[in-house]
Amino acid sequence: MIQQKVTRNWVLPSDKHGSCSIRVRMSATGAVIYASASCTGDVIFNQSAENAVRKSSPLPVPSDRALALKEFRSITFNIHR
């Protein structure tokens, strides 16, 4: 669900394609605290991926608050365009 939400918010020029590994730190409510992208594209590509994560805040988290605090505070996932 997180990947889908970020991908929907990822705005790129039509000539840009590639993949990114995104590191995110978030609060228990899903608010993005930190986002860092390592992409196969250029600097603009990286920045656009990081902006997509920030624009997607709050990210979906489990309704179980204990699980959200334990497992979802820091995650890494991949997205492709």
Contact 40, 19 (CB under 8 A): yes
22 has pLDDT over 80: yes
Q: What is the pLDDT of residues 31-77, one digit of tens each?
A: 999 999 998 877 888 898 999 999 999 999 888 877 766 777 888 99
Average pLDDT estimate for 4-8: 91
Instruction: For residue 13, name the pLDDT band (cuts at 50, 70, 90).
Output: low
> Which domains can be identified in the chain, with CATH numbers?
2-11+18-80 (3.30.1150.10)
Phi, psi (degrees; rounded to nearest 5) at 19: -135, 160
**Cα distances (Å, whole numbers) of residue 79 to 14, 35, 49, 70:** 16, 13, 9, 23
